[in-house]
Structures are given as C-alpha cells and as structure tokens.
Structure 1
Amino acid sequence: MKPTAYYIFETALGPCGIAWCEGERPAVTSFQLPDIDARATEERIARETGGRPSNPPPAIAAIVERVRRHFEGYPEDFRDVEVDLDGVGPFARQVYAAARAIPAGKTATYGEIAETLARPGAARAVGYALGKNPIPLIIPCHRVVAAGGKPGGFSAPGGLTTKSRMLAVEGVAWGLPPTLKSAQDLRRAAAKLKSQDPRLADWLSQPLSFKPNTEHSPYTGLFSAIVHQQLTPKAAAAILSRVKALFPGATFPEPGELLGTPDHVLKSAGLSQPKINALKDLASKTLDGTVPTAEIIVALNDDEIVRRLSSIRGVGRWTVEMLLIFNLGRTDVFPVDDYALRKGIAKVFGMPEVPSPKKALALGDAWQPYRTVASLYLWNVVNAEIF
C-alpha cells in the first residue's frame, strides 16, 4: 500500500483537506470538502485515507493555492491535476473522466454522462459512482445534476448546500436558494444593501455577528420553538430539559416516540396541553413528510416552507420565518409581524409611530433580495437601545 499524507487548510468555503501518495511525483488520492470545523475535516480524511498529517510538497502546495483561489470566486481548471485512483474500477474511472471534462460554469445530468459513456440507461450507476468519488472538486461531481435541473444527491459534508455553494462559486445559479453562511456572506450582502438604500448605510456599518444554527433539523428546530412560545428563555430551557429527560439517550424524542407518549407524562415535564397538541401534530406531520428532512428543506423555496410548516398546529408564519433566518440562513425573509423589527424601522427612519406590518412590508420592497440582512440590522438597532 502506498504511503499517504494529508494536509488541512482554510478556504473561503471552510476547512478542506487534501491527501496524496508520497513519492517523486505525488498524486492526489483524496480531497475533503469542509466539515463543521477543521478538526472534523481532519478526522474524516485521516479515517478515509489512513494517512499522516504533513506539510505539502511543492506540487501539492500549488494545488492548495489553486483551490483557495477557486473558492474565492476565481474558477480554476483542475483537469491537469494528477490523481491516483488505485482500487477504483474501470466504469467509475470512465465516469470520473467524463465528469472532469465538464468545465467550470457548466453542468451535465447523470443521463448525459451515461450517454457519453455509450451506456444509455446507466444513469443510476453513474450516480452511484459519483457518490463514491474520493476526490470531489478536482473530480467535479458537483457539476452533475439530475434530469430537469433537480438537485440529485451529494454525499460530501453539507450535502446539497455545499453542492449549491460550489456551483455558485463557478457562476451557476442552481438548485438552492441563496443563504447566509458566514460573516463574509453577511458583509457582502450588507454592502449591496447599502447601495440599494443609502438611508440604511450608517446602520449597516454597525458591528454585527450572525451565523445560522444549522445543527437543528426542521423537526428539532420547530420542537424547540414550540416549547419556547410565550415563555422566558430560562423557563423554556428548563421545560425542554425535562422533556428531553423523558427520552434517555436521545437529543430530542423521535417523532414516533413522542406520539406514543401519554399526554400526562408530557404534562409532568411542564408542557401545557396546547403545546402537547402542537408537538404531536409536528411529530405526525414529520412522519407523513409534510415537515421536510434537513436534506430536503434546503432545496425548497421560502414560500413552500412557510406553506408546509404553518400547517402545523400552533406554528404561525412568524415561527417559520425565524427558522428560515436563524436555522437556514435564507437571505430574503422579512418578518413584518415582529414588533421589534418594526420598532427598528421607526428608529432608523425617524417615524413618530411604529409602522404597521403592511407599511413595513411596502418599505422593505426596496431591500429585496436582502431583507433578512436588513432585518438583522434593524433588530440590532433595537438591541443597542436596550443594552
């Protein structure tokens, strides 16, 4: 077995990892797209390659710099990068060669790859091979989509969100709604918003940190939101902790477990009957697919998410909009029913009274498609007054 080394490095997309077989002509054996942090990225690439950490030799260091440049928005062509596919079968090698022929800024479907290989009807086999791709980006499986422009799959950390962001870097507006994932995303959106409405300029220059909590699935995010309704954060946290204690070994109760739990048991943890009803409706609608999985929700537009989730008992539009902003990081959400948001508008625009939701909505038309960013800064105005 060839000795393998790996290196972890930061990019605009997050911490990546690259592995290579050591020797006079090091070839890339594995590439790791960003996991939740550098440690998780390293653990994954170490586990998958069995390699050791090392500083990269000049040839690999040059690839690292090209990857960084690529993720900064200057697309690179990696077809010249030498890869080592030892252990990969002949069909997968053909699929990977076809994928490498797709230039940045373009996509192909699984079926089109199959046709290229003179294997019509092998679209599923193409998808399976790409799902096992050990060198994403350099073998650009993110450029292969399902028929009709549908997302298809993506097995790298971050799933379809990562796939969408990689395509966005290459100028392909595909698949998923834009999101705020980092402080850099927020700054870029704020800069564009300043040019759209100079009246916000001073407020958009104030320091603000924001990072969506992507750890929650739609089910767990709404579970927590329902428990917190009409309670102080401290009281809600205490009740949520007691509810979780009813289901040892689980971070949150599974939908089926929750439905099978008698109401009086849930009441003993401090839940009111209306909240029990809402949580059980949430569980039921999760099992029947109304509440999408974390993998599916990223591909749904905001209106579809609002339509689905507001059908849950006790879940209104405002609750869904908070999930869109603080869990999914959607860029153009404007929760005008939020009093604090409208109070911020009154402060910024010198209004004698807090505007109605209808008036606020009309004012926010000028802020599309960055109304989430405007909302975050308007809330910040109110928070600054409080503290």
Structure 2
Amino acid sequence: MGLSVDQLREALTALARLDPAIARALERAGHPPPRISARGYETLLRTIIGQQISTASARATWTRMQTMLGDTASPAAVLSASDESLRAAGLSRQKAGYARSLAGLVATGDLDLMNLPPDDEAAIAALIRIKGIGRWSAEIYLLFSEGRADIWPAGDLAIQIAVGDILGLEGRPSETLVRTLSESWRPHRGAAAILAWHHYSMRGKIKADAMPL
C-alpha cells in the first residue's frame, strides 16, 4: 500500500523543517490526502486499461472486463481470452497486447509483484519490461501501491508545474532540473511528489487567496 496519513505527515514535517519553500507550500495548500492503490497484478492491469482515455471510459471498460473475465485478479483469465473478447470489452489491439504482456510475465513467474527488487531503479527496470508500462507508470505504482518513500516522478507535468510554483521559479522547470532540485528532499521525495500534486490541484484557490482585496 501507499504512504499512510501518518507517514505523509511525518515526512512532510521533516521536509518543512529542511526547506522553507515546502513549509510555505504546506501553509498554502494544507496537508495532502494519501494516494493508495492495491499492490499487485490487478492494479497494473487497470493502469494499462486506463491509459489515454477518460476516467469514465476507463471505469466502463474495467466493468466490462470484470464481466468478461470473471476474475480480473487472475493472469490466466487474460491469457485465455480471445482477441475478439478483449476488443469487445473495450481494449484496443495495442492494449490487448499490453495486457497479455503483463499477464504472461506474472503467470510464468518472470515478474513477481510481491517481491520486486528493494532498489527503486531496479524495481522500475523490472516493471518497464511490461509492454505499455513506462517509467512514469512504474514510478506511480511503486509510490501508490508499495509506498516507496523516495520515488520521484520528475517527468510528470503537474509535478514540474508545482515545483516551479513552490520554489518560485519563472516558467515550468524541465524534468532534468526537477530531478536536480529535489536532491535535498531525499529520502522523502515520495511525500514531496504527493504534496506537489496536491499543490497543483489547489493552484486556482492558492492564486485567488494571494490576490489583494
């Protein structure tokens, strides 16, 4: 599971002591709620299904997949389903291939989601062997499903914008710069990422509160 409320608060309190910009961001946006997903195959299957479509479409496709497969937690169910059945559930040919890639790696034991390498970069490397799972998706899984404390999805657009706002930068910093700027936030960058998303979601309110009356 992801970082708990208590873990988030402890990490962000430590960061606020370390960096006045984080302290000010917490004052503006408040403490973020946790972001927690279940660990394992089913979460990654849902990730693949939800790529590049709306939340409503992803939910509808998942419901059809549950009806069609019967057991969405079983890789064998995807491997035994026909291409026609997967397309009828709403998966494109490409996503059906991605789902089979995930199911195959898990079914054969080539990917053990309950025992990913403890090193974050090694765990990311293991996950991106799945077709359709890139670095961002792997990082999100490790943060939300495993609660890895120092995961930092610097390629995320919202995080880049929020870091720029939090640190008072002009314009959106690049992924490379965001990675460099975060070095002093180790080993709590996962909590910093969750704060950044929260801060980004509160941008309108924060700007409105900052306007003079």
Q: TM-score, normalised by structure 2?
A: 0.89
Say whether residues 1:355 and 2:179 are aligned partners. no
Partner of 1:255: 75
Q: Distance in 2 between matches of 1:261 and 1:369?
A: 43
User: Which residue of 31, 39, 45 corresponds with 1:223?
Assistant: 45
Partner of 2:148: 330
Match of 2:105, as an amino acid?
K
Partner of 1:208: 32
CA contact (8 A) 1:290 1:308 kept: no
| Bigger-Rg structure (1/2) | 1
Q: Aligned to 1:246, what secondary structure does the other structure show? A: helix
Q: Distance in 2 between matches of 1:304 and 1:370?
A: 19
Q: Distance in 2 between matches of 1:350 and 1:236?
A: 36
Q: Distance in 1 between matches of 2:170 and 2:73?
A: 47
Backbone CA RMSD of aligned residues:
1.7
CA contact (8 A) 2:31 2:195 kept: no
CA contact (8 A) 1:183 1:211 kept: no
Q: Distance in 2 between matches of 1:352 and 1:314?
A: 34
Q: Distance in 2 between matches of 1:374 and 1:245?
A: 38
Match of 2:175, as an amino acid?
P
Distance 1:289 1:376, change over 3 A: same
Q: Aligned to 1:323, what secondary structure does the other structure show? A: helix
Q: TM-score, normalised by structure 1?
A: 0.50
Count of aligned positions: 203
Higher RCO structure, 1 or 2 (CA under 8 Å, sep 6+) = 2
User: Which residue of 53, 61, 65 corresponds with 1:239?
Assistant: 61
Q: Distance in 1 between matches of 2:179 and 2:146?
A: 21
Q: Distance in 2 between matches of 1:352 and 1:308?
A: 36
1:255-302, Cα deviation, whole Å (9 max, x unpaired) = 1221111101110111101100000000011022232143x23x6332
Say whether residues 1:276 and 2:93 are aligned partners. no
Cα drift, residue 211 of structure 1: 4.9
Cα drift, residue 223 of structure 1: 0.2
Greater fraction of residues in helix: 2
Q: Distance in 1 between matches of 2:76 and 2:134?
A: 23
Say whether residues 1:195 and 2:17 are aligned partners. yes
Partner of 1:381: 199
- Provide runs of 4+ in structure 1 moved above 4 Å: none
Partner of 2:119: 301
CA contact (8 A) 1:219 1:291 kept: no
Distance 1:378 1:253, change over 3 A: closer
CA contact (8 A) 1:340 1:379 kept: yes
Greater fraction of residues in strand: 1
Match of 2:66, as an amino acid?
K
